[in-house]
């Protein structure tokens, strides 16, 4: 049989039989939450496939041309070659628009899956020793994803992305000492800068994808080597891993998930318009699209800029602008804390042991409290990033909505953190699964004629100690 001959041939040349059999028989545990990382991986593959197609049509040039394509409202307008090429791709290249929209949707799904995956790993303590490396790589992937998204949606040179670039330039400008130099070197000169589209293109289709490929490869290799964490269940130990072998069962399921992910994103790309640059119009420096919102994974950074007070400082005759703290320092702190969390937690708890069992959120109330606070912080900031749109939707003034958001940004995380901590601690102490049946309390009449509660064992926490095996 051809497969056997192939394995034989590999073995004779690479001495690979034991490698092949060991890895094909490797056991992969099964839990729905493992899907999140896989969805991120497969949306990235789709990004590469569709992005390659788009790159064959894109022109990174700000050379002005007159638009003569089929989209009537813009006919005769002067636009940049970059904008013109994306318009041509959207309206004249067959299957161009669907490819472009699939690409954009895949980026939205990719970042969503990355964020959900980080949240899952955080709340289950799956980042603990020995998996700190995977965690760090994951945070690196999150950052790279933000860079890839921003550099990508800035390429069409439309009015919306122009505003985003203008803000990015202004944030760079606010860096003490070297801000002006860094901004000029990156943009090639004063905004809009003659070279920026070309540089964004190289970042977007070469540098960042190489970084993501490398990090993804390392992430997968480490996960493969270390195996997944698992929840406690009967028959499971720290020293073993239980699941289905890679070949063929796990592989088929995972490839099935890949195709399903592709399919769902293709449906989104086909049916739901995204980034309609013809509605925004070409970028001109003297006009800003209103309302203008970035994609949600950057929306929280935009929210910080919108809610931050107008603090400007002066140091020895120099100026530290309003953008430095919300634009660079606070996001830097957020990412530093996020990246260092495994080490901070180990130090705070004094727990430097290996852990192959994942935890339920209720088993680590302090961590879960911090996690809930972090998620609240993120959600409030995403809302703030679209404060004008949300306020309009709610029918209230932006200014009063901002006041609410500011208080929520400060108090919301504290409140949700404390409440989560309290709930988790309570559940942990009662050793109950939150979704199990309500406690049944029995009373009996006592000798005095009153009622008293019958002392009973806490219910056997079946769901807690036994994650059902799914075969």
Partner 1 sequence: MRRASLVVALAFGAATLAALGLFVVYIAGGQPQVEGALLFVALAGIGAGLMVWATRLMTGIGQITQSRRHAQPPEEKEAAAEAMAGGVEEMSRRRLLYRLLLGAAGALGLAAIFPIRSLGRAPGASLFRTEWRPGLRLVDVDGNLVTRNTLEVDSFTTVFPEDAVGSGDSQAVLIRVQSGSLQLPLDRLAVAPDGYVAYSKICTHAGCAVGLYLARVHQLRCPCHQSTFDVLNGAQPVYGPAARALPQLPIEIDPDGTMRALGDFTAPVGPSFWDLPP
SS3 327: helix
Does 23 contact partner 1 by CB under 8 A?
no
Q: How far apart are CA 228 and CA 367, in angstroms?
A: 20
Closest CA to 67 of 86, 84, 82, 92: 84
Contact 46, 25 (CB under 8 A): no
The one segment of 2-10, 119-127, 172-180, 415-423 that binds partner 1 by CB under 8 A: 172-180
* The binder of partner 1 chosen from 48, 116, 133, 264 (CB under 8 A): 264
Q: How far apart are CA 143 and CA 212, in angstroms?
A: 10
* The binder of partner 1 chosen from 210, 255, 333, 460 (CB under 8 A): 255
Does 39 contact partner 1 by CB under 8 A?
no
Place of tokens 């209103």: 290
Does 202 contact partner 1 by CB under 8 A?
no
Does 468 contact partner 1 by CB under 8 A?
no
Query: How many chain residues are in contact with partner 1, going by CB under 8 A?
Result: 102
Does 132 contact partner 1 by CB under 8 A?
no
Does 331 contact partner 1 by CB under 8 A?
no
Does 248 contact partner 1 by CB under 8 A?
yes
Residues 211-230 that bind partner 1 (CB under 8 A): 225-227
b/e burial code for range 156-192 (CB count within 10 A of at least 16 → b)? bbbbbbbbbbebbbbbbbbbeeebeeebbebbbeebb
* The binder of partner 1 chosen from 258, 330, 389, 404 (CB under 8 A): 258
C-beta of 144: minimal distance to partner 1 in Å?
A: 21
* The binder of partner 1 chosen from 7, 57, 166, 338 (CB under 8 A): 166
Does 305 contact partner 1 by CB under 8 A?
yes
Does 198 contact partner 1 by CB under 8 A?
no
Does 124 contact partner 1 by CB under 8 A?
no
Residues 346-375 that bind partner 1 (CB under 8 A): 356
Does 69 contact partner 1 by CB under 8 A?
no
Does 193 contact partner 1 by CB under 8 A?
yes
Does 244 contact partner 1 by CB under 8 A?
yes
Burial degree of 234 (CB within 10 A; 0-12, 13-18, 19+): exposed
Does 171 contact partner 1 by CB under 8 A?
yes
Give how far Cα 229 sits from Cα of 28, 125, 222, 331, 384, Å: 10, 9, 13, 30, 36
The one segment of 185-193, 330-338, 342-350, 457-465 that binds partner 1 by CB under 8 A: 185-193
Give how far Cα 292 sits from Cα of 110, 127, 160, 385, 387, Å: 22, 37, 6, 9, 10
Nearest residue (CB) to partner 1, 183 versus 427:
183
**360 membership: H or E segment, kind and range:** none
Does 241 contact partner 1 by CB under 8 A?
yes
Structure tokens at 40: 């991120």
Does 15 contact partner 1 by CB under 8 A?
no
Does 195 contact partner 1 by CB under 8 A?
yes
**189 Rama class: left (phi>0) / alpha (psi -120 to 50) / beta:** left
Q: How far apart are CA 292 and CA 306, in angstroms?
A: 12
Give how far Cα 264 sits from Cα of 12, 251, 271, Å: 43, 20, 11
Does 55 contact partner 1 by CB under 8 A?
no
Q: How far apart are CA 173 and CA 328, in angstroms?
A: 11
Does 190 contact partner 1 by CB under 8 A?
yes
Nearest residue (CB) to partner 1, 317 versus 449:
317
Nearest residue (CB) to partner 1, 321 versus 331:
321
Nearest residue (CB) to partner 1, 444 versus 470:
470
Does 18 contact partner 1 by CB under 8 A?
no
Closest CA to 166 of 145, 149, 183, 144: 183
């Amino acid at each position: 049989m051809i497969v056997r001959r192939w394995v034989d041939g590999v073995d004779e040349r690479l001495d690979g039989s034991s490698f092949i059999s060991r890895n094909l028989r490797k056991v992969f545990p099964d839990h729905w939450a493992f899907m999140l990382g896989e969805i991120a991986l497969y949306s990235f593959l789709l990004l590469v496939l569709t992005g390659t197609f788009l790159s064959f049509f894109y022109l990174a040039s700000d050379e002005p041309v007159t638009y003569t394509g089929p989209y009537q409202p813009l006919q005769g307008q002067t636009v940049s070659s970059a904008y013109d090429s994306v318009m041509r791709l959207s309206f004249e290249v067959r299957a161009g628009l669907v490819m472009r929209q699939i690409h954009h949707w895949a980026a939205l799904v990719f970042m969503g899956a990355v964020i959900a995956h980080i949240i899952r790993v955080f709340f289950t303590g799956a980042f603990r020793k020995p998996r700190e490396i995977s965690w760090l790589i994951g945070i690196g992937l999150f950052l790279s994803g933000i860079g890839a998204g921003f550099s990508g949606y800035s390429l069409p040179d439309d009015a919306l992305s122009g505003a985003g670039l203008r803000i990015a330039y202004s944030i760079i400008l606010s860096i003490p000492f070297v801000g002006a130099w860094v901004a000029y070197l990156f943009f090639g000169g004063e905004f809009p800068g003659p070279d920026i589209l070309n540089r964004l293109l190289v970042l977007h289709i070469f540098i960042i994808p190489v970084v993501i490929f490398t990090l993804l490869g390392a992430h997968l290799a480490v996960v493969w080597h270390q195996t997944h964490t698992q929840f406690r269940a009967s028959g499971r130990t720290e020293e073993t891993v239980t699941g289905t072998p890679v070949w063929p069962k796990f592989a088929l399921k995972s490839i099935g998930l890949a195709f399903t992910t592709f399919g769902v994103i293709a449906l989104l790309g086909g049916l739901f318009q995204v980034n309609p640059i013809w509605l925004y119009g070409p970028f001109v420096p003297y006009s800003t699209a209103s309302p203008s919102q970035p994609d949600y994974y950057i929306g929280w950074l935009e929210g910080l800029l919108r809610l931050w007070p107008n603090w400007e400082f002066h140091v020895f005759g120099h100026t530290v602008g309003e953008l430095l703290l919300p634009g660079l320092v606070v996001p830097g702190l957020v990412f530093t804390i996020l990246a260092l969390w495994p080490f901070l937690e180990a130090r705070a708890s004094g727990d430097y042991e290996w852990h192959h069992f994942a935890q339920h959120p209720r088993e680590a109330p302090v961590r879960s409290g911090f996690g809930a606070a972090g998620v609240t912080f993120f959600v409030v900031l995403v809302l703030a990033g679209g404060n004008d749109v949300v306020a309009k939707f709610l029918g209230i003034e932006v200014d009063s909505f901002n006041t609410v958001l500011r208080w929520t940004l400060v108090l919301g995380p504290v409140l949700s953190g404390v409440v989560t901590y309290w709930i988790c601690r309570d559940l942990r102490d009662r050793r109950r699964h939150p979704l199990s049946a309500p406690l049944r309390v029995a009373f009996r009449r006592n000798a005095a004629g009153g009622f008293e509660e019958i002392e009973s064992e806490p219910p056997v926490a079946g769901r807690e100690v036994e994650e059902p095996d799914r075969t």
